Amino acid sequence: MYDIVIIGAGIVGAMTARELSKYLLSVCILDKESDVAMGATKANSAIIHAGYDPKEGTLKARLNVLGSEMMPQIAEELGVRYINNGSLVIGFNDEDAEKIKTLYRRGIANGVKKLALLDKDELLNLESNISKNAVCALYAPTSGITCPYELAIAAIGNAMDNGVDLKLNFKVEEIKKNEDGYEVISSFESVKAKYIINAAGLFADDIAKMAGDTSFSIHPRKGEYLLLDKECGSLVSHTIFGTPTEKGKGILITPTVDGNLLLGPTSVDITDKTDTSTTFDGIETILSQVNKYVNSIPFNRVITSFSGLRAVGGTGDFIIKFSNDNFISVAGIESPGLSAAPAIARYVAGMLKETGIRLEKKKKFNPYRKSMHFFKNLSDEEKNRLIRENRKYARIVCRCEMVSEGEIIDAIRSNPKATNLDAVKRRTRSGMGRCQGGFCSPYILDILSEELKIPVEHITKSGGASNIIIGRTKGGEQW
């Protein structure tokens, strides 16, 4: 029996697992997918919001500001990319100017540091490609960008290095309460725990119901994006927002930590919690908005589109509560859930403590994890030294993103281990460049096959039945 089972390996489950791995507790994290970070954590704007947007006095506001302050250190410990690029909310008329002043006042009340109101000249001095029609802006220098799934993978990897267990392909279908605690049941396995943390994102309401809590429901709100080639990433250096609407922070333009330019998200309420399709309407909405903010966006440089689903709880705040004895639900974690996640984890640990659980610190907790992109950042001298030790770092497998065989093997061997093509992609960026995996995928399949010691026909794109190869034409030759 575990002390604690966490259901859901998104950023909330990941940060909570890492926080709890600091203590002498047995912890297991479960997810229904074949890899971690496959829900909202995989597809969002990747902004570490400063904290001026959530309403004063809400848990959202408090945990956003704290999480955003914690993020630089956490990213450094976990070897995850984080860039403190600052954000701008730009306004075009008097109505926008009023909204911006409200955000400024709210930010000050929430405790956001260094916020400033800019006039047109100050704005254009800071960001020269902004439309000349903009008249004012809110400047939040503490805002940043990261890679959300890299952060979740690293947090879970670090938690596992510190003793946490991870079970993937474990879809929780039933939860039984008994005298000692809970039994969490999938169709083929069950685990027991004294405490449960429900971090199941869009499905947190279903999990809470299994423990008898019907007090909230979660509905999906889709956000679609366009991603532009790396040569466009320097069009703006800050994250640029229009003024917020009732449905959220609106469409933004931002550089990514990889140097691409990201446009989106839309905001459309839907009913299907699994519908991550992109649509013609979505693309049109993005194009019509971003053109107003920034000059000369090269739309012919779009390399992909994708969408993410917000888990809307309908209360206007995060829902973090006991659903039953020793059963905590962390639900309705809409934006800024990524920014707030480290603070949510700490808050949840505080709730556990209140139940009387003993939180005794481990003497040997190691907060550090090797960066998944360490090779690229080495000097030529260091690269050559490493290559002399291991020739696999000299063999470039993904030429668009310059990823070596050594790094792909690292991704397959490190916690949480990559077991399919997309999992390798999320850890190394192989297949994320211009050719979108056209050239490197066959090589990566063979490396996966060799490392996992399974036939290449059994390797999948993203788990389940997503096999890529159905047979060989040349009698099993290796490349």
Ligand X SMILES: Cc1cc2nc3c(=O)[nH]c(=O)nc-3n(C[C@H](O)[C@H](O)[C@H](O)COP(=O)(O)OP(=O)(O)OC[C@H]3O[C@@H](n4cnc5c(N)ncnc54)[C@H](O)[C@@H]3O)c2cc1C
Q: Is 219 a catalytic residue?
A: no
Shortest separation between residue 44's beta carbon and ligand X, angstroms: 3
Shortest separation between residue 190's beta carbon and ligand X, angstroms: 12
319: three-class secondary structure by DSSP: strand
Name the strands in the sheet holding 144-146, side by side, starting at the edge strand that comes first in the sequence: 47-48, 144-146, 82-83
372 binds ligand X (CB under 6 A): no
Binding string to ligand X for residues 337 to 356, with x set by CB under 6 A, is what? xxx-----------------
One-letter amino acid for residue 145 of the chain: I
Nearest-angstrom CA–CA distance, 21 and 361: 9
Shortest separation between residue 64's beta carbon and ligand X, angstroms: 7
- Pick out residues in 290-319 that bind ligand X (CB under 6 A): 308-310
201 binds ligand X (CB under 6 A): yes
List the catalytic residue out of 49, 219, 238, 458: 49
Binding string to ligand X for residues 253 to 282, with x set by CB under 6 A, is what? ------------x-----------------
Q: Binding segment for ligand X among 38-46, 79-87, 158-166, 451-459 (CB under 6 A)?
A: 38-46
Q: Which residue has the tokens 């971003």?
A: 290
Among positions 5, 29, 32, 211, the unique one binding ligand X when judged by CB under 6 A: 32
CA–CA–CA angle 438, 222, 151 (5° rounding): 60
Strand 27-30 with 165-167, pairing? parallel
Shortest separation between residue 88's beta carbon and ligand X, angstroms: 15
33 binds ligand X (CB under 6 A): yes
Number of residues that bind ligand X (CB under 6 A): 41
Strand 327-331 with 190-198, pairing? parallel
Whether the CB-CB separation of 409 and 418 falls below 8 Å is answered with no
Among positions 87, 256, 335, 404, the unique one binding ligand X when judged by CB under 6 A: 335
Nearest-angstrom CA–CA distance, 14 and 17: 5
Among positions 12, 236, 290, 447, the unique one binding ligand X when judged by CB under 6 A: 12
For residue 166, the 8-state DSSP code is E
Binding string to ligand X for residues 208 to 247, with x set by CB under 6 A, is what? ---------------x------------------------
Q: Which residue has the tokens 């685990």?
A: 191
Whether the CB-CB separation of 313 and 218 falls below 8 Å is answered with yes
Please confirm whether the linkage preceding 342 is cis (ω < 30° from 0).
Answer: no
Shortest separation between residue 152's beta carbon and ligand X, angstroms: 7
Minimal CA–CA distance to 60: which of 10, 4, 106, 19?
Answer: 106
45 binds ligand X (CB under 6 A): yes
Q: What are the residue numbers of the active site?
A: 49
